[in-house]
Structure 1
Amino acid sequence: MFKSASYKLVSAVAKSHSAQSCSAFYATVRGFRHEPEHPEDIEISSENDFIVSILRANPSARDAKSYLASFGARPRSVSVPIHPPPPLLPDPQVVRDTQPAVEEPKPSPIVSSILDPVHHRTALVKVQGPFTNRQLDSIARGIVYLQKLGLVSVIIVEQDQVPRGEEGEREVILEETTRVVEALEKQGARTRPVLGAVVRLGPIPGQDTATRQSCAPVPEAHTYPSDLAPIRSALRTGEIPVLSPLALDSFCRSARIDANDVIAALARGMVDAAEYDRAQKPVETITRPEIDVDLTPMRLMIINREGGVPSYARSGLPHLLVNLEAEYKYVHDTFQSSWKATHPTALSNLALAHTCLTYMPPSSSAIMVNHRAPSSMIGNLITNKPAVSSSLPHALLQGNRSLTSNTPTILRRGLSVEVVRDCANIDKAKMTRLLEQSFGQVLDSDTFYARLEKDLDFVIIAGDYAGAAVVTRETSSSNPSAPPIVYLDKFAVLPSHQGDGTVDFLWVALHDETYGLGLPFSVNLNGGKEGRGEGQDLVWRSRSNNPINKWYFERSSGHVRMGDWVLFWCDGEKRLKTEEGRRASAGLSYVEEWEHGRITLWADVVPKVPSSWKKLHEPNKHGV
């Protein structure tokens, strides 16, 4: 059963479309129950499949609420009619002639959806061809479905097989733009081809120096709010603007440039224009919200034939989620030369996402997706998450049949990740604020930090204390000779950052510093051990009624219930690979020698770890 928020999401989407026959819907749902191994390879072919694509996204309650907050109808002020007061001494004749009040009919759901429209947002979409007509139809169908969900695309067309400077390139690009327009209109969309230049060559005069000093990437083109008039006009009339990669030079001549430069200029220019709009026209003065579109792009979509960026950790399969703030350089540096033949534009598209997301809101994301997976764009829009979580165990990811070369790469601006090993380097005020907001309890600061002074192994800090993982080394009082337990004492993310990828970024860094150590894909470049060392078992506990336990079950190697608590652990992965090779020749053993007695030791030590919270009230049921 779907949670209430998910049900509202599907209902809100379904409400805005024509009703389908019961038999057709049943046939679609019946087919949905027997999904193919690779559902992303199935082209969306009907209105019912649009709804099924939403269901395949499997949005959580938080995902649905986030979607509705961005695209749901905005509350309106309701004017209450003022009736004149009745006369003090009513005329008997008037009373006799008065008829019973007739209740006004309520508007139909269709009328309600018109009166209470979906709030539209924009996406920058790079259609990186060449594509066949059938491939363009599939891409266009996905873009049209995104528009129905409230995300209106601003499309920039690129043709990789026509080098810049080649004779006749302009005609080829304009023809490709026309093909995209025809494909969209074939799917029922209203389009507006913008064949003139809306960007200008070079950085913004007078602003490039300050931007370069801030280390932010500077687009090689720029645009002013007045240049965006064709795009703004198209969006306000419900049309999808389709642009060619053209720019004006200093002599006002139109020339073809790299589509990435056009997109980067639009990303920055549309954000500036939206801020200008808000300053000139406050929200409360908008009289017709159904035709107003927020110019601030909330998605960057790169649709090509290559798919996502290949990952060194997945044998060439795509990266699932990239934290650009912490991983951009490393993803770039680990790109193997053999991939240049199969993914020739992966690095340039990675750089494009890095530039655009620098200027787009922090909640924005980019997706690099193969043209064979149009439904992935719907899933990303609703959940803003990768198809498969990047923090799942690597063994689970490697054996996941849904992880293919067509799986898209999601990119977020993300947060910096830092490993701190000295308690003196912890900002205690910010750490306290993080823990108290995350757990909803009052920290016993003196006791907590005194224990860290003695037992701290390391702390992983995401951003400016938006999240943190506190790891200690716990020893056994009954068995002092036993090796210390690597214990996850606190794992916390600010409520404002829950659902934006911070949890996965933090857990991946935790993996690289503990049970993932020693493997080539566990190289943490944030002040940690950088993959050098032996992986060690990671142990932690959580209250048995903690809602996050489902997430822990998926990432742990095992668990044991201990009264009101659940003990979780992750086995050291390097040791597991060694044992895996040994068992191939020695046979399977259900309990290995190194496993004997360890759970007994953990069950003895972990319950004795003191609480970190002041007992001012009933303990939070979901505390760890």
Structure 2
Amino acid sequence: MSIRALGQRGRALGRQGRALGLRIGRAASSSASPKVPDDAAHRQRERDLILSVLSTVPSRREAQRFLKSVSASETMRSQREFEERQAQLAAAQGHAVPGEALRDAPSRARSDAEAVPRRLTAAVFVGGAQAERAGRLLAQIQRIGVAPVVMVAGGGAAAAAADYRDAIRSAHRLADAIEREGGRARPVNEGVFYNSPYARADLTVDPELIGAAVAQGQAPIITPLMADAALQVRVLETAPAAEALARGLALSSSTQHAMAGSGGAFSLLLARLILLGDADGLADGATFHRFVNLEEDHARVAQACAQPDALALMRTCLAILPPTAAGIVASVRSDPSLVLKGLISERPVATQHRSAAQRAAAASAAASAASAATAAAASAPSYRPLPNYPFVNVGPARTQPQPQPQPQPPVEAEPPTRFTLLRHGFRIQRHTRVDACDLPRLRGLLEQSFGRTLDGAYFDRLRGLEAAGGIEVIVAGDYQGAVIVTHEPVPGARPLAYLDKFAVLPAAQGTGMADILWAQLRRACPACMWRSRNDNGVNRWYFDRATGHFRAPPPESGTRWVFFWYHPPAAAPDPDEIRAGIRVAQAIPPSFA
């Protein structure tokens, strides 16, 4: 990356950081908490918070979406449009959709100006034995403008008096830990859960105490206690209590009605469901799952999942919450900046958080690499390597010997933290014939996604490729997203798997659709190439997911392309195949009129 490009990237990140910093400052100044003394501990907490937020490195779109979400006037028009379309589809098919089935039909639709303001919220379930260790994380979540609604995990069906006392004690310890970290918390020991003969579910939640705490800028720390018919207080099991709480929060997320206890000020905008326990995320043996599309992947993941209770709880609760909500399964010991990244960003996060010694060593190694790159600039090839990814040399070979790397000091051993991101997701359809698709809906999806009119001969080209090399069409949900891969003939070589189209409806943005489709693409095609216009705003998303790229020289006329590709980690592609693939991809005719 050139010095100019680095400078532009740094300035862009600086603007995003200042915007987020200003939002954090406004949230802190507008809260009802008493003034915190300006001592060393307070200053250190502020530095930790700012570094945690800046370390998320959100894209411009993600930063803008997050800032809109924490704004008091946010009404999530795209979410409502998406839910309305889902409700229409469900009514036509005779079944309910997640989230919509819990909403009462409003007497009349409010306009955007009349809609109830939304309060960005994260529902958090914390294991009782580890509860207080989550204090720092929850305080930081609260201070960036997200209202955490926390439930301390309960006991068994026949909990003893000691379990009752332990549950109360865990909730108060967690509230104290949040307060020590500069946040505000309110233990809510009883009155949230009850049995109602008029409710469809056996266990019901009264949201008034939760809404009152959120309205006062406090994180409600809920203890899963309930008095039974004999007026004996018992500790509820985690699974039914979590399901009841998710249902109660979903009912409080309507844009038509304010949440009980809020004084008519707001309803909830449920962004994340966070489960903090002993494990970093969901895994089966040596396989760690960074992202799970529950609608499609649940049966496969559940077969050997080492945390079946966590997976079942997430599946149940995400089916209740609005479709834009996502789940996070992480360790209570997680680096707070990692979970904040999961709140601000919509994409899965890799294992990349290291200790201070490891970061210092990495910075030293980067400085040495930069010095080596400067020394070898005269013989550098004509491509720009993709940072942090292995890259195939498609330019001339280096002729000068490379300097030997300097020995680095030993770094402390610290396992990196990670988490699993889950979405309720969408069903997946796969087709190998274009006429097996619903072509009018596929055309509408492509034209809405790209904002342009599809060329009349586009589907004819796909039909011609069916016999020559084959095609694959992956459709998500009810044509809310699609991937089209063509296998382009290459003279004297195997066909090129070419990503022809990657489309997501604007109304489905924020639902994890892009990551769901990308995971399906990687499964269907272990190696793939595609092209994008040099000024395409989606290129950063491509850079994050590609293993290599090549910027074509500026043409005298026409489009300047950037070519991307990925391949299996254990098998680097042949440079000759990359060059041949670029020539074939460059000659593909445009798809839009």
Q: How big is each residue's C-alpha offset from its partner over 1:386-415, in whole Å with a ceiling of 9 and x where there is no partner?
A: 33299x99998xxxx999563122212222
Q: Distance in 1 between matches of 2:332 and 2:302?
A: 23
| Cross-structure match for 2:485 | 471
Say if 1:264 and 1:557 are closer, same or farther in 2 by CA, change over 3 A.
same
Task: Report how far residue 442 of structure 1 moved.
Answer: 0.6
Q: Given the alignment, which residue of 294, 297, 315 partners 1:327?
A: 297
Structure 1: runs of 5+ lacking an equivalent? 29-42, 77-117, 209-220, 340-345, 516-536, 577-593, 615-624
Task: Report how far residue 555 of structure 1 moved.
Answer: 3.2
Task: Report how far residue 309 of structure 1 moved.
Answer: 1.0
One-letter amino acid matched to 2:494: P
Q: Is the 8 A contact 2:252 2:267 kept in 1?
A: no
Matched, 1:299 2:272: yes
Q: Distance in 1 between matches of 2:465 and 2:275?
A: 47
Say if 1:62 and 1:558 are closer, same or farther in 2 by CA, change over 3 A.
closer
| Cross-structure match for 1:100 | none
Matched, 1:495 2:509: no
| Cross-structure match for 1:174 | 168
Q: Given the alignment, which residue of 499, 516, 537 partners 1:505?
A: 516
One-letter amino acid matched to 2:459: Y
Give the 5 Å matches for 1:310-389: 310-311=283-284, 315-316=286-287, 318-335=288-305, 339=306, 346-373=307-334, 374-388=336-350
| Cross-structure match for 1:420 | 431
Task: Report how far residue 539 of structure 1 moved.
Answer: 2.6
One-letter amino acid matched to 2:338: S
Task: Report how far residue 159 of structure 1 moved.
Answer: 6.0
Q: Distance in 2 between matches of 1:67 and 1:575?
A: 38
One-letter amino acid matched to 1:68: L
**TM-score in terms of structure 1 length:** 0.66
Please tell me the root mean square deviation across aligned C-alpha atoms, in Å.
3.9
One-letter amino acid matched to 2:534: S
Q: Given the alignment, which residue of 437, 441, 444 partners 2:455?
A: 444
| Cross-structure match for 1:223 | 204
Q: Is the 8 A contact 1:199 1:246 kept in 2?
A: yes
Report the secondary structure of 1:612's partner residue: coil
Q: How big is each residue's C-alpha offset from its partner over 1:11-31, in whole Å with a ceiling of 9 and x where there is no partner?
A: 221344479xxxx99x99xxx
Task: Report how far residue 308 of structure 1 moved.
Answer: 0.9
Q: Given the alignment, which residue of 555, 563, 569 partners 2:565?
A: 569
Q: Distance in 2 between matches of 1:180 and 1:372?
A: 14
Q: Distance in 2 between matches of 1:17 and 1:282?
A: 23
Say if 1:44 and 1:254 are closer, same or farther in 2 by CA, change over 3 A.
farther
Say if 1:565 and 1:402 are closer, same or farther in 2 by CA, change over 3 A.
farther
Say if 1:296 and 1:66 are closer, same or farther in 2 by CA, change over 3 A.
closer
One-letter amino acid matched to 2:488: E
Which shifted more, 51-60 or 181-190? 181-190
Q: Distance in 2 between matches of 1:541 and 1:372?
A: 41
Q: Distance in 2 between matches of 1:231 and 1:18?
A: 22
Task: Report how far residue 59 of structure 1 moved.
Answer: 1.7
Q: Is the 8 A contact 1:44 1:50 kept in 2?
A: no
Q: Distance in 2 between matches of 1:287 and 1:195?
A: 19
Work out which of the two has the higher radius of gyration on C-alpha atoms and give 1 or 2.
1
Q: Distance in 2 between matches of 1:605 and 1:500?
A: 34
Q: Is the 8 A contact 1:469 1:510 kept in 2?
A: yes
| Cross-structure match for 2:465 | 455
| Cross-structure match for 1:258 | 237
Q: Distance in 2 between matches of 1:146 and 1:423?
A: 46
Say if 1:119 and 1:484 are closer, same or farther in 2 by CA, change over 3 A.
closer
**TM-score in terms of structure 2 length:** 0.70
Say if 1:274 and 1:163 are closer, same or farther in 2 by CA, change over 3 A.
closer
Q: Is the 8 A contact 1:559 1:567 kept in 2?
A: yes
Matched, 1:244 2:194: no
Q: Is the 8 A contact 2:498 2:528 kept in 1?
A: yes
Q: Is the 8 A contact 1:308 1:406 kept in 2?
A: no
One-letter amino acid matched to 2:135: A
Q: Distance in 2 between matches of 1:282 and 1:230?
A: 10
| Cross-structure match for 1:186 | 180
Q: Given the alignment, which residue of 539, 548, 555 partners 2:529?
A: 539
One-letter amino acid matched to 1:299: R
Q: Is the 8 A contact 1:302 1:369 kept in 2?
A: yes
Matched, 1:11 2:11: no
Detail structure 1 runs of 4+ shifted over 6 Å in the superposition. 286-289, 392-396
Give the 5 Å matches for 1:509-528: 509-515=520-526
One-letter amino acid matched to 1:223: T
Task: Report how far residue 265 of structure 1 moved.
Answer: 0.3
Structure 2: runs of 5+ lacking an equivalent? 1-10, 31-37, 76-116, 353-385, 391-411
Q: Is the 8 A contact 2:428 2:475 kept in 1?
A: yes
Task: Report how far residue 62 of structure 1 moved.
Answer: 0.9
Task: Report how far residue 261 of structure 1 moved.
Answer: 1.6
Q: Distance in 2 between matches of 1:246 and 1:547?
A: 50
Report the secondary structure of 1:141's partner residue: helix
Matched, 1:141 2:136: yes
Q: Distance in 2 between matches of 1:492 and 1:253?
A: 55
Say if 1:488 and 1:347 are closer, same or farther in 2 by CA, change over 3 A.
same
Say if 1:455 and 1:190 are closer, same or farther in 2 by CA, change over 3 A.
same
Say if 1:613 and 1:15 are closer, same or farther in 2 by CA, change over 3 A.
same
One-letter amino acid matched to 1:379: K
Q: Is the 8 A contact 2:126 2:332 kept in 1?
A: no
Which shifted more, 191-200 or 361-370? 191-200
One-letter amino acid matched to 1:246: L
Q: How big is each residue's C-alpha offset from its partner over 1:32-62, in whole Å with a ceiling of 9 and x where there is no partner?
A: xxxxxxxxxxx99521211111101112211
Task: Report how far residue 438 of structure 1 moved.
Answer: 2.0
Q: Is the 8 A contact 2:153 2:224 kept in 1?
A: yes
Q: Is the 8 A contact 2:151 2:224 kept in 1?
A: yes
Q: Distance in 1 between matches of 2:435 and 2:548?
A: 34
Q: How big is each residue's C-alpha offset from its partner over 1:473-497, in whole Å with a ceiling of 9 and x where there is no partner?
A: 2225xx4x64332222112222333
Q: Distance in 1 between matches of 2:43 and 2:472?
A: 48
Task: Report how far residue 280 of structure 1 moved.
Answer: 5.1
One-letter amino acid matched to 1:222: L
What is the percent sequence identity of the aligned residues? 30
Q: Distance in 2 between matches of 1:322 and 1:75?
A: 28
One-letter amino acid matched to 2:530: W
Q: Distance in 2 between matches of 1:361 and 1:228?
A: 17
| Cross-structure match for 2:282 | 309
Q: Distance in 2 between matches of 1:331 and 1:403?
A: 28
Say if 1:464 and 1:198 are closer, same or farther in 2 by CA, change over 3 A.
same
Q: How big is each residue's C-alpha offset from its partner over 1:138-193, in whole Å with a ceiling of 9 and x where there is no partner?
A: 52122122222222222211267x88534632222222222223323333444332
One-letter amino acid matched to 2:65: S
Say if 1:488 and 1:6 are closer, same or farther in 2 by CA, change over 3 A.
same
Task: Report how far residue 304 of structure 1 moved.
Answer: 1.7
Report the secondary structure of 1:2's partner residue: helix
| Cross-structure match for 1:64 | 63
Q: Distance in 2 between matches of 1:599 and 1:267?
A: 49
Task: Report how far residue 66 of structure 1 moved.
Answer: 0.8
Task: Report how far residue 358 of structure 1 moved.
Answer: 1.1
Q: Distance in 1 between matches of 2:262 and 2:192?
A: 28
Q: How big is each residue's C-alpha offset from its partner over 1:533-573, in whole Å with a ceiling of 9 and x where there is no partner?
A: xxxx4232222332333333443343344442233333456
Say if 1:70 and 1:561 are closer, same or farther in 2 by CA, change over 3 A.
closer
Say if 1:452 and 1:389 are closer, same or farther in 2 by CA, change over 3 A.
farther
| Cross-structure match for 1:32 | none
Q: Distance in 1 between matches of 2:27 and 2:484?
A: 47
Say if 1:144 and 1:442 are closer, same or farther in 2 by CA, change over 3 A.
same
Q: Is the 8 A contact 1:235 1:293 kept in 2?
A: no
**Across the two proteins, how many residue pairs are aligned to each other?**
469
